[in-house]
Amino acid sequence: MLNSINSFNSVSYNSQVGSVGTENSGAVQAKGVEINYNPQDELVMDPQVISMPSIHAGKGTLEGDNVQFVRKEQLEPNKDGQYVYTPGTREFVSSVTMATVQKTIDAMSEKFGKIEWAFGGDKIGLASDAGVDFNAYYSRNDASLNFFHGLDPVTNQTVFSGSSGEVVSHEVGHAILDAQRPGYLTTWQADTNGFHEAFGDLTGLFMATQSDEVCAMAAKETGGDLHKPNCLAASGELLGRAINNSYGKNVTGGDYVRNYINDFKWQAPRTVPRNPSGTDPLTTEMHSWSRIFTGAQYDVMAGIVEKKMADGMDAAAAIKAAGNDSMTLLAEAVKMAPQRDVTYRDLALLMLKADANNGGEYHDIVLNTMMDRNILFEGDDTPNDMSMASMAPSREMTITLNGPEFGKFAGAEVTGTVPGGFNALDSNPADGLAQDMKQLIQNGCILYTEPNQTVEKKDLFDKDGHPYIGVVRWTDGKMVIERNMMIG
């Protein structure tokens, strides 16, 4: 979820977390529950109480159709049989996190069909509070979503990342994209990694727009002009404020983790610095780089709202419809997208194609928005003639890093993808991959390990509490840099 600047506590990971569901106590009753849910953020609105047929009670806990606690989190209903608790309590965090994960899966399944997890199995694991940190992450290796807590030093409030709908849906978005395109967690490319983060944010945005209460609030804030500041554009408000209060300065740009109102434009990633990952300027650190695509897609949604209002819809209804339609476009694009690597341009072209397949209602909105962002260019406006050759599948390539510029990583073998399409600008793809690795190594994004070192889970996070992008593994005396299958 976070920028790497945001997380300053070392990760407190509970090493006892085992495989999913090992301590769950068997089958639970097949009936839905009344439960807390907050599609936005605690700082913006109070939690709702909703009925969820896809979550079931029994054996002193809850379990969803597609999610279960990694270790049993004890939950008993109140006298009315509801799983409704006081915000800030352990029971509240457990239940609201469970509700958000399952509700996000339910809504995204309508776009993608049944979710086949990248890690196999029917249910994703959930640790609603895995220790002290201002953080949250998805781990394919552990088949789980992990949330944490930290103390806001100014308000003295304990902030749980699992209690923000936007933060939780973001992490579920990672897991859902990983299910659709597992190759995207094996790449070193800036656009593909940035898209993973953008997809998380856009999943949170979509979920927020599907709440009538949130749409009414955003309509009131903006009158339907989503370029004005509003609760939809700002994500993770409570967590963002706690982070800023902890730093004693405004590191995220406001009381949020990220804000989708921006005017960042795409440029060739290798011409942009990798770090630092702060709010400004734009870097190729994945959360930073994601803001180009998220901002563009947010603008597409804003354009759809404008169109619907021009057609006579009221602002709140237009926001809800636009949230749904823009996620449909994105999901249809992902279903057609290349398997291993994707560029922002590929995705924008595929959204045009998806829209054309659906009657072409939003063609001009998508095209003009993406051209404003330097994601699409003149000549990209005829989806029927669109050259799918520009999305030629990436090739896999293994190289050995040679040269003093790689320091202790010299001699390491690394497998990466070489873009097959529009971005295949390298006359020598191996050099391009080596150049990307050099940038990642020099910016501390790859964890070095010794040949006989036991690598524990906590080692896979950098000093800012962020998962390293890659890690050195030793196989038969050979150094290999592997992609870390965790993403925050």
User: What is the binding site for Zn ion (CB under 5 A)?
Assistant: 1, 197, 200
- CB nearer Zn ion, residue 304 or residue 486: 486
- CB nearer Zn ion, residue 147 or residue 409: 147
Closest contact distance (angstroms) between CB of 199 and Zn ion is 9
Strand partners, 258: 235
Q: Is residue 249 classed exposed, middle or buried when 0-12, 13-18 and 19+ CB atoms within 10 A define those classes?
A: exposed
Closest contact distance (angstroms) between CB of 158 and Zn ion is 22
Cα–Cα distance measured from residue 103 to residue 126, given in angstroms and rounded to the nearest whole number: 14
Closest contact distance (angstroms) between CB of 152 and Zn ion is 21
Q: Which residue is nearest to Zn ion (CB)?
A: 200
Closest contact distance (angstroms) between CB of 3 and Zn ion is 10
Measure Cα distances from 372 to 8, 43, 253, 279, 364 in Å: 35, 33, 23, 21, 12
Closest contact distance (angstroms) between CB of 286 and Zn ion is 8
- CB nearer Zn ion, residue 129 or residue 171: 171
- CB nearer Zn ion, residue 7 or residue 48: 7
Write the DSSP string, 164-204. -HHHHHHHHHHHHHHHH-GGGGS---HHHHHHHHHHHHHHH
118's tokens: 């990248």
442's tokens: 């020099």
Report residue 340 CA to chain centroid gap: 17
Closest contact distance (angstroms) between CB of 331 and Zn ion is 18
Cis peptide before 276 (omega within 30 of 0): yes
- CB nearer Zn ion, residue 1 or residue 304: 1
Cα–Cα distance measured from residue 390 to residue 175, given in angstroms and rounded to the nearest whole number: 27
Residue 134: CB atoms within 10 A of its CB come to 25
- E strand or H helix at 323, and its extent? helix 315-336
Closest contact distance (angstroms) between CB of 224 and Zn ion is 29
Contact 261, 297 (CB under 8 A): no
- CB nearer Zn ion, residue 83 or residue 199: 199
Closest contact distance (angstroms) between CB of 2 and Zn ion is 7
- CB nearer Zn ion, residue 185 or residue 412: 185
- CB nearer Zn ion, residue 1 or residue 205: 1
Measure Cα distances from 59 to 73, 74, 306, 414 in Å: 11, 9, 49, 47
